[in-house]
Structure 1
Amino acid sequence: MAPRMILRMALAVVLACLLASANVFAAEPQNQSAPSDGMDAKVVAPVATEEPGYQVVDVGVLAIRGYKATINRWQPLMGWLETQIPNSYFRLHPLSLDELAKGVETQGLDFVITNPGQSVLLARQYSLTWLATLRSPLNNGAAMQVGSALVVRADSPYQTLTDLKGRRLGIVSKNAFGGYLTLVYEAQLKGIDLPRFVGEIIPLGFPLDNLLYQLDDQKSGDDAAKDNRLDAAVVPVCQLEQMQAEGLINIGHYRVLDNQTPVGFHCQVSTRLYPNWSMAKTNRASQSLAKSVTQALLALPEDHLAAKTADSAGWTTAVSQLAIDQLLKDLDMHPLQTPWWQRAWQWVKLHQQWAWFVLAILVLLNAYHFWLEYRFSRRGRELINTQRQLNENRALLEHAQRIAIAGELGASLSHELNQPLAAIGHYCHGAEVRLQRGTSPEELQSVLTLIQQEVTRADSIISRLRNLLKKRPVSKQPLYLHELVNDTVPLLAYEFEQHQINLAVNVSGEPYLQSLDEVGMQQLLLNLLKNAADACVQRLELESSGTEQIITQKPYTPTIDIDLRYQERILLLTVTDNGTGLTEAASLLMQAFYSTKSEGLGLGLVICRDIAESHGGTFSLESAMGGGCQAQVAIPRKLEPNGA
């Protein structure tokens, strides 16, 4: 992908995120009451009526555990600052990662309090001045207390990070520092690409408590819950111990993998520790106010309520963020890092000879690719033309076979037409006699009606033959298959009568319309019935000549059964005869141009199979249980738009 295209895509993603984000720091109501919970709450208390010299200070804080927990942790600090800085009101804003960055960008905040990863990302993009860093009460007052704990259930079989290959890992966010990035960096130092090493990463978002709740809730449950369960979760350091102290969880239900707790530190941690949370001023706050806030923070006693609720031993001067810069740089996430394509261009300028060599290889590969595409395209066109010719030849063969069938049906059609013509002559002669006797024309109406019926009958016979001979594109229309059977059987009635072949038609099930090719299905039926009749005639000849051994004392009665079943999901047509049966394997008989008849074309069964498959069905041929042959066509049911 071209670098310009990648840059445009990146800009589009950033723009979409900015447009989708709520306007966090628009003008807020002055008398908004604090909601019970939710990340979108921005005001924690009503603003007092402003007096001369009275200032409102907006402080944004990263709400990693939700609105209530953030208020409980940081509101006492706001109260301490108000006592140390007269005529001031510090308004607390619990915010998400994106909302905090938006507030700094739009200068909707005076100060921010956030974790070290977010602080570096913000400070390298916007003008921030870091004032102080929290001291850890668990690490001898040092400012190092941010890391990740890789947590599993106590009964889990996993012992180290390497056991989580292909497993499901729950995190708060892929941008969370203590809740994800520190563990990714720790794994990278061990030679493990964590996002690719685990099977799936599930971001659950804030508050962080949900990670531990979901991990424990899935300890027992139904099969569906077990299929979607988390195998492990990443939480910030001391999250387990803090929720245990608050009575929210039983720490005995959990276990931390790769625990490397430092000496004097009282929380389990799976990574090295990084600087604690820090407070910084934005361009909106004045230098004098920043100085007063810094002095107030450093003066906060470690046993004060504001220090304890913030899980700290007070504040110290801002510590170096070098370790965090190195972490983000190694993860290719540092905001000051140039895009990969710019680094690639710098490399090209330093190694021009290799760049020209690679470019030449790419040009040759592209030329070879285009040549292959040209060859494939030409061969494809040749194959399409060949396929079209084959289809045309097959259509011609089918048409020739229909004409051959029509020739064989000539005698039958002659017999069928003779009957209505003889009846018409008889009725006309009777009408003439009646007229000679003085019968009125009105009394001849019944005779004329009978003549019209016979004319219609003759016309239908000729129409069926015309449709069979007509060469036209295949078109399907909703039809009842049993009606098509009833229209086709009379075409062979004379042959059946001549050879005394008994024909039985059985229809079962509730008839329904099926999208069928009328001429194709009629041709299939004629082929099957003609083959069945030929087999019966051949057996009659064999028995009359004494060639075939008579097994039973009963005289042979040639029989053809047509069984049509309207099933719920399939339309099943079976034609069974008691003729000579299969003399060759069914697969051989259904090969093109192979026939056991001296004058056969070897196309009848092939065309039957193609017609069945054109309807999405199947065609099979096998020996009947009582001797003879059984041909079966199965067509899946397709509901018509009217629901028939």
Structure 2
Amino acid sequence: MIDVAVLATRGKSAARHRWQPTMTWLESHIANSRFMLHPLTLDEMANAVEQLKVDFVITNPGQAVQLGRQFDLSWLVTMTSHTGESQTNSIGSALVVRRDSPYYSVEQLYGKPLSAVASNAFGGYLSLRHHLISQGFDANAFFSRVRFLGFPIDASLYQLRDKHIEAAVVPACLLESMVTDGLLEDNYRVIQSRSPAYFPCQVTSELYPNWSFAKTQRATNELAKQMSQALLAMPAESEAAIAARASGWTSPVSLLAIDKLYQELNMHPLHLPWWQEAFIWLDDNQQWGWLLFVTLVLLNGYHFWLEYCFNRNKKQLEQALHRLKHNGELLEHAQRVAIVGELGTSVAHEINQPLAAIRNYTEAGLLRIAKQRPLEDLVPVLEKIQHQVERVDNIVQRLRTMIKKHAAEKKFIDINQLIIDTMELLDFRLTKLEIPYRLSLQTSLPLCYIDPIGLQQVLVNLVTNAIDACVSAQHTDVTWQPEIVIESHYQDNVLTLTVSDNGIGISAEQAAATQAFVSTKTQGLGLGLAICRDVIEDHAGQMSLSPIAPHGCKVTIVIPVSLPQ
């Protein structure tokens, strides 16, 4: 039994129909011989040759180079075709589209859905890929959406027929053969056909040598000689030649053009992996190898040194930021203490009022006891005394909260109540200076998640500045009536607070007053508005100053806030 492997490009049934007559021809010309045909795929063919499972192989020129450069094969003959001159050159690629397709050039098919047999299929994909590269095209971009369908190769044209793809990459003459056999209608054309005058089929790429017959190490030289003689004697009109679509066989032709194609595509079977080539280069250039090694060591050392410096500087920066944050907290605390000092008279008045009331209620209670009034008459007096005590406690608690050194602690609070509490702290000063204020607070304002102490400090700063601005304006115009307006507004998870006054106002250039150590006041340190800005930015908000016509200033605070779930 003589085993012959053949590349089944169109499936095993089609391969048997094409090549079995050739096996019959060989049996009739070689005495006492029986040939068994084995249709195989690309990978199956390589495996069969490597493990010496077959005696002979019939394959296309692409796989002939792949197998011949890796295994010990002896090429016997090359198939010829009915193509006039250059009869052995008949393998190439055709880029096929539907006849009604809008594509007429290769450029129009860039990135379109295409099909091919396999990434290592020579007669279709590789020969066209090499052709595109030689013409200056970007093959990777062109084949970015290619689908590899495998054998049989007819599937590519069926996918094109069913409009699943825009073009098919197939071996030359496959389209014409399927149309002739009635498998397809003549509704297709080949893009940029460059067929020679002698070639009967349309082809897009260059033409390469035809199929070849080779002997493996398993077959004897005597048998190979008899087979060569039988194949060379096959006439063009024989049943075997007609079935194989050949005009016969001739002596083996050179596969140099295919070797060059694989080399240019970096796919040649003798092409060594990069790491093997690197070892060979190092062996031939040891002095440069040592220089490269020393350079790499130095670069790695430099890298580790840079990483060490980076980590050290990172730690120093983190420590500096920690100190800066701590100093900022101290500065805020000092500023709050200064504010309480400025409000000393107001605080004393606030506390004296409930103390005076307590004294009056106490005297009234004592008087009722002296008159031996019923004990029930003392209950209202005691309740009023308790109310005044709670009022004093609230005043002291607000002062303690403001003076207390703290980190920003956010919680859900009533913004309107915070504004009212803040204005109670400033009410005595406003009354003493005869500066009226008006609250325009949105009703049903939801609880907002903020830092109450920080926001109260901002409000005290802004209202204090407004008071100072009104006092300065009063000195310049005795007929003018001052006013301060505080507003609250909430919409779409955004809280807006405004503090407006009709005092001396600011200019556009004075907007820089929100920078640290910049102040429009003669005795000011320029810390108030800078701290206000930091508190608002800690809430991811914004604070802006704008002049009011004819004179005055408006401070707008916008803070995105979270609501209780």
Question: Which of these two proteins has the greater Rg computed from alpha carbons?
Answer: 2
Structure 2 residue aligned with 1:572: 496
Structure 2 residue aligned with 1:606: 530
Tell me by how many angstroms 1:189 deviates: 4.7
Q: In the alignment, residue 527 of structure 1 is paired with which amino acid?
A: N
C-alpha change, 1:169 and 1:596, in structure 2 (3 Å) is same
Structure 2 residue aligned with 1:22: none
Q: Return the match for 2:138 from 184, 191, 194.
A: 194
C-alpha change, 1:479 and 1:89, in structure 2 (3 Å) is farther
Structure 1 residue aligned with 2:92: 147
- Does 2:130 align with 1:185? yes
C-alpha change, 1:520 and 1:169, in structure 2 (3 Å) is same
Structure 2 residue aligned with 1:499: 433
Once residues 515 and 163 of structure 2 are traced to their aligned partners in structure 1, the CA distance between those partners, rounded to angstroms, is: 63
Identity %: 40
C-alpha change, 1:332 and 1:92, in structure 2 (3 Å) is closer
- Does 2:111 align with 1:168? yes
Tell me by how many angstroms 1:593 deviates: 0.7
Q: Check conservation: 2:358, 2:385, Cα contact below 8 A.
A: yes
Between 102-111 and 169-178, report the one with greater CA deviation. 102-111
Q: Return the match for 1:337 from 266, 271, 290.
A: 271
Tell me by how many angstroms 1:585 deviates: 1.3
Tell me by how many angstroms 1:586 deviates: 3.5
Tell me by how many angstroms 1:480 deviates: 4.9
Q: Give the aligned length.
A: 545
Q: In the alignment, residue 597 of structure 1 is paired with which amino acid?
A: K
Q: In the alignment, residue 185 of structure 1 is paired with which amino acid?
A: H
Once residues 12 and 293 of structure 2 are traced to their aligned partners in structure 1, the CA distance between those partners, rounded to angstroms, is: 59
SS of 1:585's partner is helix
SS of 1:536's partner is helix
- Does 2:354 align with 1:411? no
SS of 1:633's partner is strand
C-alpha change, 1:516 and 1:422, in structure 2 (3 Å) is same
- Name stretches of at least 5 consecutive residues in structure 2 with no aligned partner: 28-32, 150-154
Matches within 5 A, 1:416-431: 416-431=350-365
Q: In the alignment, residue 194 of structure 1 is paired with which amino acid?
A: D
Once residues 457 and 249 of structure 1 are traced to their aligned partners in structure 2, the CA distance between those partners, rounded to angstroms, is: 101
Tell me by how many angstroms 1:264 deviates: 1.8
Alpha-carbon RMSD: 5.3
| Cα deviation digits, residues 305-358 of structure 1 (max 9, x gap) | 9977x9x44885887655434422333223443221221221222222333344
Structure 2 residue aligned with 1:547: none
Structure 2 residue aligned with 1:269: 203
Q: Check conservation: 1:412, 1:491, Cα contact below 8 A.
A: yes
- Does 2:556 align with 1:632? yes
Once residues 505 and 302 of structure 1 are traced to their aligned partners in structure 2, the CA distance between those partners, rounded to angstroms, is: 111
Once residues 112 and 573 of structure 1 are traced to their aligned partners in structure 2, the CA distance between those partners, rounded to angstroms, is: 89
- Does 2:156 align with 1:208? yes
Once residues 104 and 429 of structure 1 are traced to their aligned partners in structure 2, the CA distance between those partners, rounded to angstroms, is: 122
Q: In the alignment, residue 283 of structure 2 is paired with which amino acid?
A: K
Tell me by how many angstroms 1:628 deviates: 0.9
Once residues 304 and 444 of structure 1 are traced to their aligned partners in structure 2, the CA distance between those partners, rounded to angstroms, is: 134
Structure 1 residue aligned with 2:540: 616
- Does 2:517 align with 1:590? no
Q: Check conservation: 1:113, 1:278, Cα contact below 8 A.
A: yes
Given the two structures, how large is their TM-score scaled by the length of structure 1? 0.66
Structure 2 residue aligned with 1:9: none
Once residues 233 and 483 of structure 1 are traced to their aligned partners in structure 2, the CA distance between those partners, rounded to angstroms, is: 76
Given the two structures, how large is their TM-score scaled by the length of structure 2? 0.74
Q: In the alignment, residue 607 of structure 1 is paired with which amino acid?
A: I
Structure 2 residue aligned with 1:16: none
Q: Check conservation: 2:93, 2:204, Cα contact below 8 A.
A: yes
Q: Return the match for 1:562 from 474, 480, 486.
A: 486
Structure 2 residue aligned with 1:224: none
Once residues 477 and 144 of structure 1 are traced to their aligned partners in structure 2, the CA distance between those partners, rounded to angstroms, is: 85
Once residues 433 and 281 of structure 1 are traced to their aligned partners in structure 2, the CA distance between those partners, rounded to angstroms, is: 135
Once residues 39 and 64 of structure 2 are traced to their aligned partners in structure 1, the CA distance between those partners, rounded to angstroms, is: 18
| Cα deviation digits, residues 597-619 of structure 1 (max 9, x gap) | 12211011212222222222222
Matches within 5 A, 1:508-519: 508=442, 511-512=445-446, 514-519=448-453
Once residues 387 and 57 of structure 2 are traced to their aligned partners in structure 1, the CA distance between those partners, rounded to angstroms, is: 99
Q: Return the match for 1:527 from 461, 470, 484.
A: 461
Matches within 5 A, 1:76-115: 76-77=17-18
Q: In the alignment, residue 138 of structure 2 is paired with which amino acid?
A: L
Q: In the alignment, residue 181 of structure 1 is paired with which amino acid?
A: L
C-alpha change, 1:570 and 1:242, in structure 2 (3 Å) is farther
- Name stretches of at least 5 consecutive residues in structure 1 with no aligned partner: 1-52, 64-69, 219-231, 545-554
Once residues 187 and 81 of structure 1 are traced to their aligned partners in structure 2, the CA distance between those partners, rounded to angstroms, is: 36
